A and B are shown apart, each in its own frame.
Chain A
Amino acid sequence: MSPNDDDRRRQLLMDRSVSGRIGTTLPPLDVPLQPPPQADQLRNELEMPEVAESELVRYFSQISQFNFSIDHNFYPLGSCTMKYNPKLNDEMASLPGMSEIHPHQPESTVQGALRLAHELQSYLTEISGMAGTSLAPKAGAESEMAGMLMIRAFHLANGDGDRKDVMVPDSAHGTNPASAAMAGFRVVELPSDASGNTDLEALRAAAGDGLAAFMLTQPSTLGLFDTNILEVTGIVRAAGGIVYGDGANLNALLGRVKPGDLGFDVVHSNLHKTFTQPHGGGGPGAGAVMVSERLLPFLPTPVVERREEDGEVRYGLATPPRSIGRMGAFHGNFGALVRAYAYIRTLGDQGIAQVSEDAVINANYILSRLKNDYDLPYDRTCFHEVVLSASSLKHDYGVTALDVAKRLIDYGIHPPTMYFPLIVDEALMIEPTETESLETLDHFIEVMKAIAREAREDPELLHSAPHDTPNTRLDEARAARQPDLRWRPTAD
Chain B
Amino acid sequence: MLDVIGVDSADELFQDIPAAHRNPTLDIPPPLSELELRREIEAMARQNAVPGEYACFLGAGSYRHFIPAVVRQIASRSEFMTGYTPYQPEVSQGTLQAHYEFQSLVCQLTGMEVSNAGMYDGATSMAEAVLMTSRLTKRDRVAVLDSVSPYYRDVLATYVQAPGLRIDTVSAGQGTLGDYTACLVVQQPGFLGLMEDLDALARRAHDHGALLIVVADPISLGMFKPPSDYDADIVVAEGQSLGIAPTFGGPYVGIFACKQRYVRQMPGRIVGKTVDTRGRTGYVLTLQTREQHIRRERATSNICTSVGLIALMSAVYMAAQGKQGLRHIAELCYHKAHYAASLIADIPGYSLPLKGTFFREFVVQCPRPPQETNRRLLERGIIGGLDVSDQVPNSMLLCCTEVNSREEIDTLASALAEVGRGGRTR
Complex interface: stretch among B136-144, B168-176, B264-272 = B264-272
Cα A229 to Cα B16 with chains together (Å): 9
Task: Name which residue of chain A comes closest to B30, CB basis.
Answer: A348
Q: Mark A172-194, 1 if CB is under 8 A from B, else 0.
A: 01110111111111010000000
Q: Is the CB of A37 within 8 A of B224?
A: yes
Q: Is the CB of A182 within 8 A of B98?
A: no
A27, A67, A187, A479 — which one has the most chain B CB atoms within 10 A of its CB? Answer: A67
From known contacts A57-B74, A483-B272, infer whether A110 and B48 are also in contact, taking CB-CB under 8 Å.
Answer: yes
A31 and B336 form a contact (CB under 8 A)? yes
- B222 CB contact (under 8 Å) in A46, A182, A470, A472: A46
**B246 on the A face (CB < 8 A):** yes
In the complex the two chains form, is B308's CB within 8 Å of A67's CB? no
A479:B37 contact, CB within 8 angstroms: no
Cβ of A349: which chain B residues have Cβ within 8 Å of it? 26-31
A479, B322: Cβ atoms closer than 8 Å: no
Given A43-B225, A50-B324, A98-B48, A282:B305 Cβ within 8 A: yes
Decide: B26 and A281 in contact? CB cutoff 8 A. no
Does B21 lie within 8 Å of A100, measured CB to CB?
A: no
* Contact across chains for B28 and A126 when beta carbons are under 8 A apart: yes
B186 at the interface (CB under 8 A from A): no
B78 touches A71 (CB 8 A): yes
Which chain B positions have C-beta within 8 A of A353? 23, 26
Interface residues of A in 64-109 (CB under 8 A from B): 64-73, 75, 77, 80, 82, 85, 88, 90-93, 95-106, 108-109
Complexed CA–CA distance, A364 and B7 (Å): 10
Given A22-B321, A174-B294, A183-B162, decide whether A41 and B263 contact each other with a Cβ distance below 8 A. no
Interface positions, chain A 18-71, Cβ under 8 Å from B, are: 21-24, 26-27, 29-35, 37-38, 41-43, 46-51, 53, 56-57, 60-61, 63-71
Does A281 lie within 8 Å of B48, measured CB to CB? no
Mask: chain B, 261-281; 1 = CB below 8 Å from A; 0 = not: 001000001111111111011
Bound complex: CA of A214 vs CA of B332, how far in Å? 54
Q: How far is the CA of A91 from the CA of B384 in the complex (A)?
A: 29
Q: Report the minimal beta-carbon distance from B151 to chain A, rounded to whole angstroms.
A: 5
| CA gap between A100 and B154 in the complex, in Å | 25
Closest B residue to A315 using CB positions = B47
The answer to whether A26 touches B297 (Cβ under 8 A) is no
Residues of B within 8 A of A322 (CB): none
Known pairs A109-B383, A330-B250; A30 contacts B406 (CB<8 A): yes
Taking CB atoms, residues of chain A closer than 8 Å to B179 are none
Question: Which B residues, 152 to 176, have Cβ-Cβ distances below 8 Å to chain A?
Answer: 152, 154-155, 157-159, 161-164
With a 10 A CB-CB cut-off, give which of A23, A341, A381 has the most chain B CB atoms. A23
Q: Are A103 and B70 in contact (CB under 8 A)?
A: no
Q: Mark A448-492, 1 if CB is under 8 A from B, else 0.
A: 000000000000000010100111111110111001111100000
Produce 1/0 per residue, B34-63, CB < 8 A to A. 100110111111111111101010101110
List the one stretch of B83-91, B345-353, B418-426 in contact with chain A.
B83-91
Q: Is the CB of A486 within 8 A of B292?
A: no
The reply to whether B28 and A344 form a contact with Cβ atoms under 8 Å apart is: yes
Known: A281-B85, A284-B251. Contact between A13 and B4, CB under 8 A? no
Q: Which of A283, A328, A466, A475 is close to B274, meaning CB atoms less than 8 Å apart? A: A475
Instruction: Give chain B residues whose Cβ lies under 8 Å from the Cβ of A177.
Output: 292, 296-297
Asked whether any CB of chain A lies closer than 8 Å to the CB of B231, the reply is no
* B417 CB within 8 Å of chain A: no
Q: A415 to B85: give the CA distance in the assembly, Å.
A: 13
Could you tell me if B26 and A483 are in contact, using CB atoms closer than 8 angstroms? no
A10, B281: Cβ atoms under 8 Å? Answer: yes
At the interface, yes or no: B392 with Cβ under 8 Å from chain A? no
1/0 contact string of B329-349 vs chain A (CB within 8 Å): 101101110110010000000
A368, B299: Cα distance in complex, Å: 37
Which of A69, A108, A300 has the most CB atoms of chain B within a 10 A radius of its CB? A69
The reply to whether B247 and A471 form a contact with Cβ atoms under 8 Å apart is no
Which chain A positions have C-beta within 8 A of B217?
A: none
Closest B-chain residue to A487, C-beta based? Answer: B104
In the complex, B354 has a CB within 8 A of chain A: no
A6 interface residue per 8 A CB criterion? yes
Pairwise interchain contact A283-B305, C-beta atoms closer than 8 A: yes
> How many of B's residues come within 8 Å of A, CB to CB?
192
Judged by a CB distance under 8 angstroms, whether A256 is at the interface is: yes
Contact check, A283 vs B306: say whether CB atoms are below 8 A apart: yes
**Is residue A149 within 8 Å, beta carbon to beta carbon, of the partner chain?**
yes
B residues in contact with A180, CB < 8 Å: 297
* Distance (whole angstroms) from the CB of A247 to the closest CB of chain B: 13
- For the complex, what is the distance from the CA of A177 to the CA of B109, rounded to whole Å? 35
Q: Is A307 an interface residue (CB 8 A)?
A: no
Shortest Cβ gap from A24 to chain B (Å): 4
Known contacts A70-B83, A338-B41, A342-B37, A63 near B97 by CB under 8 Å: yes
Q: How many residues of A contact B (CB 8 A)?
A: 189
Contact with B along A188-226 (1 / 0, CB 8 A): 000000000000000000000000000000000000111
| A173-B302 Cα distance, complex, nearest whole Å | 10
The answer, among A13, A329, A360, for a CB contact under 8 Å with B14, is A360
Task: Using CB atoms, name the residue of chain A closest to B107.
Answer: A486
A138-146, A237-245, A288-296, A387-395: which lies at the interface? A138-146
A178 touches B301 (CB 8 A): yes
Instruction: Determine whether A334 belongs to the interface, using a CB cutoff of 8 Å to chain B.
Output: yes
Q: Is the CB of A23 within 8 A of B319?
A: yes
Check A104 against B162 for contact (C-beta < 8 Å): no
A43 touches B276 (CB 8 A): no
Q: Does A131 interact with chain B (Cβ within 8 Å)?
A: no
* Residues A362-415 near B (CB distance < 8 A): 362, 364-365, 367-369, 381, 383, 405-406, 409, 414-415
Check if B304 is an interface residue, CB within 8 A of chain A: yes
Q: Is the CB of B90 within 8 A of A13?
A: no
> Does A14 sit at the interface, judged by CB under 8 A?
yes
Q: Is the CB of B246 within 8 A of A101?
A: yes
> For residue A346, which residues in chain B have a CB less than 8 angstroms away from its CB?
31-32, 34, 37
> What residues of B have a CB within 8 angstroms of the CB of A123 in the complex?
28
Q: How far is the CB of B411 from chain A (nearest CB, A)?
A: 13
Q: Does A235 lie at the interface of the complex (its beta carbon under 8 Å from any beta carbon of B)?
A: no
Give bound CA distance, A471 to B93, whole Å.
8
Contact (Cβ within 8 A) A113 B44: yes
Given contacts A14-B104, A353-B23, 5 further A-B contacts (CB under 8 A): A22-B322, A43-B221, A258-B24, A331-B249, A360-B14
Listed A/B pairs (30) with beta-carbon separation below 8 Å = A14-B104, A23-B320, A27-B402, A31-B406, A37-B195, A48-B105, A56-B74, A61-B77, A63-B97, A66-B92, A69-B80, A98-B41, A103-B62, A140-B304, A255-B23, A279-B308, A281-B309, A282-B306, A283-B307, A326-B154, A326-B157, A341-B41, A362-B1, A368-B4, A466-B90, A472-B90, A483-B270, A486-B107, A487-B100, A487-B108
